[in-house]
Amino acid sequence: MAVTIKDVAQLAGVSPSTVSRTCKDNPSISEETKEKVRQAMAELGYEPNFQASNLATNNSRTIGIILPPSQRETFENAFFLEAIRGISSFCNEKQYINTVITGNTEDELLAVIKTMTRSGQVDGFIVLYSKADDPVINYLYNEGYLYVLIGKASQNANQTIYVDNDNLLAGRDATEHLIQLGHKKIAYLGGDDSTIFSADRRAGYQLALTQHQIPIVPEYCIELPYKAKEQIQVMTDLLKLKNRPTAVVVCDDILALTLENICRDLKLSLPEDLSIVSFNNSLVARLTTPKLCSVDINSFQLGIEAASQMINHIENPNLVATKIIVPHYLVERESCKTLTDTTITTKSKNRE
């Protein structure tokens, strides 16, 4: 197996980007560190990747923005639009160019990124998502390219620059809000658990239930499939349960809108029959009927912070990897209602 820049970094006890900059004799790296890296390269027989070193030191002042692979859904999600707006705002101020990178599949996306890195025309990448065992992240890390994650790193966390919310706390806060309204039968609808934010929000939901000694019902804790038709069926099945939930935490406003539509089809009133808390506080949350109670994760600020960290590390390449947590807050709207004893009694009679 060929020796990689990651192998050299591990042996030398530095980050892959430090190895890359050493290959280009970057003046920001101390002579002591350079010597340690060179000894590791000699010991392993590593041949430098000069495209990687060019990327770390060129003066193109261009940042690539990587969207998750998708044929359509990504472009409908307001989170990505707001994050890109934040990145662009900061880059414009600092006179950096940004370019958006997309692909229908992981293979297509990775092929585009490889083409760009070989050309050496970008200084680094901002990745707008974080998921476990992602080939794009693995490629960028192993080849020593500079990148910033929006989302928590699932691996190599100590060597990864990332900007994120405390999604575990956000999931707990959303659930806590429903508990304070009197709800105990609370469901969680999340995306693929390989996406770190959804897994963390789910963990926060479970933590809130546990802290209030409310049993975690497996049928209420759902990882939604990718396809829209399958999502609708899963949500419909949840709401048709004999002991259906009185409230739901949904990991995204768009999914919450789908849930609202299903409720109408099933003749369930919102929030009388079901309370909903969602995430992102997008335009969708403000236009639905009733308007969605939603956790605002400050998408625009996440973009600004990601661009700030990227440019800071481009211009100061010897900095250690930083981790920035952007606060969230709950916006209360009409999709949630206090569950009183009278409400519970009425629902029980209706089911009989």
Tell me: the pLDDT tens digits for 55-102? 444 456 899 999 998 866 667 788 999 999 999 999 999 999 999 999
Is residue 133 domain-shared with residue 200, that is, in the same domain? no
In one letter, which amino acid is 235? M
Is residue 281 domain-shared with residue 197, that is, in the same domain? yes
Position with higher pLDDT, 121 vs 187: 187
Tell me: the pLDDT tens digits for 119-129? 777 889 999 99
Residue 273, domain member (yes or no): yes
Is residue 83 domain-shared with residue 207, that is, in the same domain? no
Give residue 16's pLDDT band: very low, low, confident or very high (50, 70, 90): confident
In one letter, which amino acid is 245? P
- Cα atoms in the 13 Å half-sphere on the side-chain side of 243: 7
Is residue 217 domain-shared with residue 344, that is, in the same domain? yes
Residue 153, domain member (yes or no): yes
Whether the pLDDT of residue 28 is over 80: the answer is no
Q: CATH number of the domain that 229 lies in?
A: 3.40.50.2300
The pLDDT assigned to 97 comes to: 94
Residue 183 CB neighbours (<10 A): 23
The pLDDT assigned to 193 comes to: 65
Last residue of a domain, one of 10, 37, 57: 57
Q: CATH number of the domain that 32 lies in?
A: 1.10.260.40
The pLDDT assigned to 7 comes to: 85
Instruction: Summarize the confidence of residues 283-306 as an average pLDDT.
Output: 96
Instruction: Summarize the confidence of residues 253-263 as an average pLDDT.
Output: 95
CB within 8 A of 351, min separation 6: which ones?
242
Whether the pLDDT of residue 339 is over 80: the answer is yes
In the sheet with 293-296, reading across from the earlier edge strand, the strands are 221-223, 186-190, 247-250, 275-279, 293-296, 329-331
Whether the pLDDT of residue 342 is over 50: the answer is no
The pLDDT assigned to 220 comes to: 97
Query: What is the distance, to the nearest Å, from the Cα of residue 204 to the centroid of all Cα atoms in its chain?
Result: 15
Instruction: Summarize the confidence of residues 294-311 as an average pLDDT.
Output: 97
Give residue 291's pLDDT band: very low, low, confident or very high (50, 70, 90): very high
Q: Dig out the tokens for 170 from the structure.
A: 């956000």
Is residue 197 domain-shared with residue 67, that is, in the same domain? no
**pTM of the full predicted structure?**
0.82
The pLDDT assigned to 348 comes to: 40
Is residue 34 domain-shared with residue 67, that is, in the same domain? no
**How high is the mean pLDDT of the chain?**
88
The pLDDT assigned to 14 comes to: 81
Q: Give me the domain span that covers residue 39.
A: 1-57
In the sheet with 323-325, reading across from the earlier edge strand, the strands are 97-101, 62-66, 124-127, 147-150, 161-164, 323-325
Instruction: Summarize the confidence of residues 263-292 as an average pLDDT.
Output: 95
Instruction: Summarize the confidence of residues 42-51 as an average pLDDT.
Output: 72
Q: Dig out the tokens for 267 from the structure.
A: 């003749």
Among residues 257, 250, 303, which one has the least CA distance to residue 279? 250
Tell me: the pLDDT tens digits for 192-219? 767 899 999 999 999 999 999 999 999 9
Residue 152, domain member (yes or no): yes
Is residue 9 domain-shared with residue 139, that is, in the same domain? no
Residue 131, domain member (yes or no): yes
Using an 8 Å Cβ cutoff, are 335 and 270 in contact? yes
Count of domains observed in the chain: 3
CB within 8 A of 79, min separation 6: which ones?
252, 280, 282, 297, 299
Among residues 120, 75, 79, which one has the least CA distance to residue 102? 75
Give residue 295's pLDDT band: very low, low, confident or very high (50, 70, 90): very high
Position with higher pLDDT, 105 vs 211: 211
Instruction: Summarize the confidence of residues 104-114 as an average pLDDT.
Output: 92
Q: Can you tell me whether residue 83 is helix, strand or coil?
A: helix
Position with higher pLDDT, 42 vs 204: 204
Is residue 133 domain-shared with residue 237, that is, in the same domain? no
Last residue of a domain, one of 34, 57, 80: 57
Give residue 40's pLDDT band: very low, low, confident or very high (50, 70, 90): confident
Is residue 13 domain-shared with residue 142, that is, in the same domain? no
Among residues 161, 120, 119, 113, which one has the least CA distance to residue 139? 113
